[in-house]
Amino acid sequence: MKKRTLGKSKLEVSALGLGCMGMNFAFPPYPDKAAMISLLRSAVDRGVTLFDTAEAYGPFTNEELVGEALAACRDRVVIATKFGFEFGADGKQTGVNSRPEHIKEAVEGSLRRLKTDAIDLYYQHRVDPKVPIEEVAGAVKELIAQGKVKHFGMSEAGVNTIRRAHAVVPLTAVQSEYSIWWRAPEAEVLPALEELGVGFVPFSPLGRGFLTGKIDETTTFESADFRSGLPRFTEENRKANRAVVDLLHEIAARKGATPAQIALAWLLAQKPWIVPIPGTTKLNRLEENLGGAGLELSAEDLREIDGAASKIAVQGARYPERLERMTNL
């Protein structure tokens, strides 16, 4: 597995990480725990070093899964997790909370569940508009000084907030959705990160499974499946958006690859400091995704993909309005 460095941070990770959320959160039905522990360890054996989780996934159970699976190989992996939500007694999110005292409580829980003395990369999961970002960054800076956190990151933050946070403590990475069918970060975020020397970690690089070509208008989702409430995944929009997958299929056929591999190779070709984190619960999909890291797209390939993609109008918002309001603050 090739390695990449996240910006100027000197944090070196595998070119593709593994998003762990779907192993027991958001995308049912879930495999049993033993199968996911085996999958996580198989990823390590295949050279994956970056593993992404969050206290909100479950909540808490995803961190526990990652912690148990990776405890025996902790010195070989980089674990990223996230803070910034508050939870009720029923475990449901009750809102964002990035008050410094809450961050200091949250980190202790994450350290315990992840069975580690230090979190390699600690993201603010969503910007809290009620707490100045300087206070948030200052709290994380204290955790870094205490050795509980090694690197600071932000998820789905806007450029102004990124700059303000980076002025307090250097950011190692920003995590946001980015793929061939969601390219909003290209307008402002990626240029700012390049200027600041901050790495970029795209989540949902396969469009929550849509870009694999395995989802179409006939696919049904359980009510608890996160995608069932997303405008982009209505039956009508899935049918319209097949044009994106058709493009990937066409390129993949010529390259002897799969649509997922083309989608990942396209992302990796954008910048050398981009590290996508596709998620999966299946070993064959893990191996397929990792094949995308070794796929080289030529400048001509990239021009062709960009030219064809620019003619496709992707249908449907990526989030309902209430969730979209929590991004790019």
Q: Which of 200, 184, 154, 286 is nearest to 4 (CA)?
A: 200
pLDDT-derived band at 124, boundaries 50, 70, 90: very high
pLDDT-derived band at 91, boundaries 50, 70, 90: confident
Residue 262 lies in a domain: no
Is residue 266 within 8 A of residue 306, CB to CB? The reply is no
Residue 254 CB burial class (10 angstroms; 0-12, 13-18, ≥19): exposed
The Cα 123–Cα 316 span in angstroms is 28
Residue 322 lies in a domain: no
The Cα 162–Cα 110 span in angstroms is 24
Residue 319 lies in a domain: no
Q: Which of 214, 309, 301 is nearest to 265 (CA)?
A: 301
**Overall pTM surpassing 0.75 (yes/no):** yes
Q: What is the pLDDT of residues 153-190, one digit of tens each?
A: 999 999 999 999 999 999 999 999 999 999 999 999 99
The Cα 212–Cα 172 span in angstroms is 29
Q: What CATH number corresponds to the domain at position 43?
A: 3.20.20.100
The Cα 309–Cα 259 span in angstroms is 14
Q: What is the amino acid identity at position 37?
A: I
Residue 185: per-residue pLDDT? 98
Per the structure, the count of domains in the chain is 1
Average pLDDT over residues 80-96: 94
Residue 143: per-residue pLDDT? 98
Alpha helices in 59-212 (DSSP H): 61-70, 100-113, 133-145, 159-168, 189-196
Residue 227 lies in a domain: no
The Cα 270–Cα 4 span in angstroms is 13
With a cut of 90, say whether residue 100 has pLDDT above it. Answer: yes
Phi and psi at 327, nearest 5°, equal -110, 160
Domain that holds residue 63: 3-206+271-294
Residue 23 lies in a domain: yes
Q: In percent, how much of the chain has pLDDT > 90? A: 98
Residue 117 lies in a domain: yes
Q: Which residues are catalytic?
A: 57
The Cα 232–Cα 18 span in angstroms is 24
The Cα 325–Cα 329 span in angstroms is 8
* Mean pLDDT of the chain, nearest integer: 97
Q: What is the pLDDT of residues 216-253, one digit of tens each?
A: 999 999 999 999 999 999 999 999 999 999 999 999 99
The Cα 41–Cα 23 span in angstroms is 13
Average pLDDT over residues 55-70: 98
Residue 86 lies in a domain: yes
Residue 267: per-residue pLDDT? 98
Residue 66: per-residue pLDDT? 98
Residue 325 CB burial class (10 angstroms; 0-12, 13-18, ≥19): exposed
Q: What is the pLDDT of residues 23-61, one digit of tens each?
A: 999 999 999 999 999 999 999 999 999 999 999 999 999
Residue 83 lies in a domain: yes
